[in-house]
Amino acid sequence: MIKNKEVKKLVFVEMLFLIVTIMLSLVVTNTINNNYKKEIINNNSYIVGGLVAKYPQLESDIISSIILKENYELGYNILDKYQLNNVDDINYNNDYSILIFVIIIYLILLTINFIFIFNIYRKIKRIDQYMNNILNDDYSINIKEYCEGDISNLKNDVYKMTVKLKEQSELLMKDKKYLEETLEDISHQIKTPLTSMYMINDILTNEKDEKVRKEFLIKNKNQIERIEWLVISLLKMSRLDSGTVKLKKEKIKVKDLVDKAIEPIKVSLDLKSIDLELDLSNDYVLVDINWTSEALLNIIKNAYEHTKDKITITSKNNPLYTEIKITDNGNGIAKKDLKHIFERFYKGNNNKDSIGIGLNMSKKIINLEHGIIEVETKENVGSTFIIKLYKNNL
């Protein structure tokens, strides 16, 4: 409480007022004492003047008798004899200035305290109203202050909390909207193969030719595998988005990392007669091999879907990062598609069969590894994806 700015201010004002009051009291008291002394002198003047006027020859004796303390008891007895020692009978102007002054000072102090307490409760009431507005999702009022004191600090803390709650509310709304859009996209992605499977199933129900039935069963199997891959990929994406992925980093050669990424697609490359050219260094990177190879695999799959007949994977090392390049010799990426290729469910005009989550997943994984991914493209020449994995205490 002693550190409270408002209390300090009140104490300072009241101490200042107290000092002024003491000084004024001294002045008033001194004035009253002077007036009292004048009254005593006036009374003595009346007595001495009356005696000297009647007995002028005894002036010296009268003055001597007045100043002698031994005559006090004799004079008091004489006044008592004639009943002149009653204070109430003395004609004296009563001075109530000190009492009035004290009352005024007390009232002023009460007023100061009332104003102080009123201001505190007014601020508290405003904070209460502000909190009620926040509970009703009204963030339009700003109670931020640039003063010192516990009340001001409280108002600033409430304002900071409000800003944080507002940001969280906006983030939740954004996440809700994003979830709705994602579920809509997932529904659309799953609906396409399911529709195809329903059609194939209808054909198989009435088809008698075993050769045709086998052909459609293979197509049905492909659609099931497509759905399975989509579900698995979406589960991985949800883990990346939720931040539950914990990378288990290990020191691994770039060649081993690329080999693990290529392994699942080797057969497809051979079947399509795509030449895979590798020029990899013997450098090490500190990464989670499973997640990072997943990121590289998605980029290689993208190159596989767009290349004509060749994919080149190279790597080089410098003091800051290890760079891996994946290049195809396809038609390149259209300029209007280039800025969207890492967006979820985005499909360019040249790849209608793609689901559009592979590159998005790759970017999230590389970012999680504190790396970056870039793309360069030329029309009718091909595209190059550049992954930079920055070094972390290798």
In this structure, the answer to whether residues 107 and 129 fall within a common structural domain is yes
- Within a domain: residue 158? no
- Within a domain: residue 31? yes
* Residues 359, 237 contacting (CB under 8 angstroms): no
Single residue among 242, 263, 293 that ends a domain in this structure: 242
In this structure, the answer to whether residues 80 and 203 fall within a common structural domain is no
- Within a domain: residue 220? yes
pLDDT in tens, 248-305: 889 999 999 999 999 988 888 888 889 999 999 888 999 999 999 999 999 999 898 8
CB crowding 70-82: b at 16 or more within 10 Å, else e: eeeeeeeeeeeee
Strand 250-253 to 275-279 pairing: unpaired
Number of compact structural domains in the chain: 3
CA atoms of 94 and 96, how far apart (whole Å): 6
* Residues 285, 254 contacting (CB under 8 angstroms): yes
Single residue among 208, 242, 276 that ends a domain in this structure: 242
Question: What burial class does residue 150 get, using C-beta atoms within 10 Å of its C-beta: 0-12 exposed, 13-18 middle, 19+ buried?
Answer: middle
In this structure, the answer to whether residues 73 and 203 fall within a common structural domain is no
* Sign, Cα dihedral of 150, 156, 159, 164: negative
In this structure, the answer to whether residues 235 and 257 fall within a common structural domain is no
Residue 39 is which amino acid? Answer: E
pLDDT in tens, 320-354: 999 999 999 988 888 888 888 888 777 666 555 56
How many angstroms separate the first and last alpha carbons of the chain?
54
- Within a domain: residue 85? yes
- Within a domain: residue 238? yes
**Domain span at residue 308?**
250-390
Q: Which residues share a beta bridge with 383? A: 377
In this structure, the answer to whether residues 122 and 226 fall within a common structural domain is no
Q: Which residues share a beta bridge with 65? A: none
Q: Tokens 């691994």, residue?
A: 252
Single residue among 203, 224, 242 that ends a domain in this structure: 242
| Tokens linked to 37 | 């002394």
In this structure, the answer to whether residues 10 and 130 fall within a common structural domain is yes
In this structure, the answer to whether residues 293 and 216 fall within a common structural domain is no
Closest CA relative to residue 307, chosen from 387, 388, 229, 380: 380
In this structure, the answer to whether residues 294 and 381 fall within a common structural domain is yes
In this structure, the answer to whether residues 266 and 306 fall within a common structural domain is yes
Instruction: At 310, give phi and psi (nearest 5°).
Output: -150, 140
* Residues 287, 389 contacting (CB under 8 angstroms): yes
- Within a domain: residue 145? no
pLDDT tens for the chain, 394 residues long, are 455 566 667 677 777 777 777 777 777 777 777 777 777 777 778 777 877 788 788 777 777 776 666 666 776 677 667 666 565 555 545 555 666 777 787 778 778 777 877 777 777 777 777 777 777 777 666 666 656 666 667 777 777 777 777 777 777 787 777 667 766 767 766 777 788 788 888 888 877 788 888 888 888 887 787 777 777 777 777 777 777 778 888 999 999 999 999 998 888 888 888 999 999 988 899 999 999 999 999 999 989 888 988 999 999 999 899 999 999 998 888 888 888 888 877 766 655 556 677 888 899 999 988 899 999 998 888 899 999 999 865 5
Instruction: At 371, give phi and psi (nearest 5°).
Output: -115, 180
* Residues 327, 311 contacting (CB under 8 angstroms): yes
**What is the rounded radius of gyration, in angstroms, for the C-alpha atoms of the chain?**
50
The pTM for the full model equals 0.53
- Within a domain: residue 340? yes
- Within a domain: residue 155? no
In this structure, the answer to whether residues 110 and 197 fall within a common structural domain is no
* Residues 152, 145 contacting (CB under 8 angstroms): yes
Q: CATH number of the domain that 282 lies in?
A: 3.30.565.10
With a CB cutoff of 8 Å and minimum separation 6, the contacts of 80 are none
In this structure, the answer to whether residues 268 and 329 fall within a common structural domain is yes
In this structure, the answer to whether residues 122 and 65 fall within a common structural domain is yes
